[in-house]
Structures are given as C-alpha cells and as structure tokens.
Amino acid sequence: MKANIFLFDNFETLDVFGPVEVLGYVPDCQLQFVSCKGGIINSSQEVPVMTKKLDAENVSGLFFIPGGQGIRTLINDSETIALLKKAVQKAQYCLTVCTGSLALAKTGLLDGRKATSNKRAFEWVLSQKLPVLWERSARWTNDGEFYTSSGVSAGIDMTLGFTEDHFSRKIATDIAIRMEYMWNDDKTNDPFAACTTADL
C-alpha cells in the first residue's frame, strides 16, 4: 500500500509523525511526503521536511491530511482544495488528524459523513457551516473510506485503529508495543471532548 502524506507550511508536527511511525511498521506500506509544489515544507515546530510535488492523478492507497495553523490559510485556497479533492478521489482511504478534517470537508467529499476534529478548534470548525456530521465526543471516527481524528495524539490511536480494521488486531497491538505506546483503542473514548479554546 502506498501512503501519501500531504504537508503544507505550518502543519502540526505530531499530527504527521505519530501516524507515520505507525504506518512505517504496517506491512508493505510505502510512505512518501508530498506538497502542492514540492521542496522543503516547515512545520509549526520548525521541522523542515523534504517533499515531492503532489501528482494527484496518480495517487493510490492512503492519502493523509494533518492539521495545524497552516489549515487556516489552506481552506481558503480554492486551487489547493481542488487538488486535494482529486487526490482523495483517487485514493482508497483518506485519513485526517485534527483540523485536517476541515480541509477534507472543504472538498465536499465529507458531505453527510461522520467526522471529528481538534476539540479546542471545534467551534471554529462548526462555524464554517459545512454539511458534515461533526461528532464532538470521538477520539476518532470512521465512515466508509474516511478516518478522521481529534487533536494531535489522537492521530496515533486512529492510525492503529485503521491498521486493526484493514490489516489485523495483532499487527496493530504489536506496533503499539514496539512504540511502547498505551493505545486508546476505543474510538468513542475521548478524554478531551469537553475541552474548548477557553482551556488554554
């Protein structure tokens, strides 16, 4: 399986590299990092990652969209949203973390589907008034080919959940042990559901 990890300036570091750690141990998963133009992309935490130019026509396998501060610009860039729409339509699965779900929602492909997002950004996500079945209390959601997670660390739990669903429980738990990670394997168990921007 190919996994296309989509990056943009000011993505949230752990949104990406938690799931990437998991996918790196999924059997025969080939990762590549892509962006609109290719070249170095910097996270909000100043991580410079080399990317290839996204070739949306030739996407297959898994397409991954993180969240982060950069999403606030990205969702108003119609060219990027059109590119993402094409890439997601070509992919077999689409996984998003944090406000990455809002970028996916902007393509229209989440219309009428269940999804979640970062809890401290939830009011802002709702304010975009998109026809998505937003679930506030969810560590992650799955609706058909779409997996969306709550903020940052939740992406690790979701990617292990995706691994269980499409590979096996044994492969998912072995990866969690390898990472010395206490997997929250219940997508309805959301310890941060009540958080809001007012909490910090």
Query: What residue ranges bind a second copy (CB under 8 A)?
Result: 12-14, 16-18, 20-21, 23-25, 30-33, 40, 43-50, 118-120, 150-154, 174, 177-182, 184, 191-192, 195, 199-200
* C-beta of 49 vs 75, nearer to a second copy: 49
CB of 112 to a second copy, least distance (A): 26
* C-beta of 67 vs 105, nearer to a second copy: 67
Using alpha carbons, select from 168, 164, 125, 170 the residue that is nearest to residue 142. 164
* C-beta of 12 vs 135, nearer to a second copy: 12
Separation between Cα atoms, residue 88 and residue 109, nearest integer Å? 8
The alpha helices in 146-196, defined as continuous H runs, are 154-166, 169-178
CB of 108 to a second copy, least distance (A): 27
* C-beta of 35 vs 107, nearer to a second copy: 35
Structure tokens at 28: 């025969």
CB of 176 to a second copy, least distance (A): 9
Using alpha carbons, select from 115, 140, 135 the residue that is nearest to residue 19. 140
State the virtual CA torsion across 4, 88, 110, 40 in degrees, nearest 10: 50
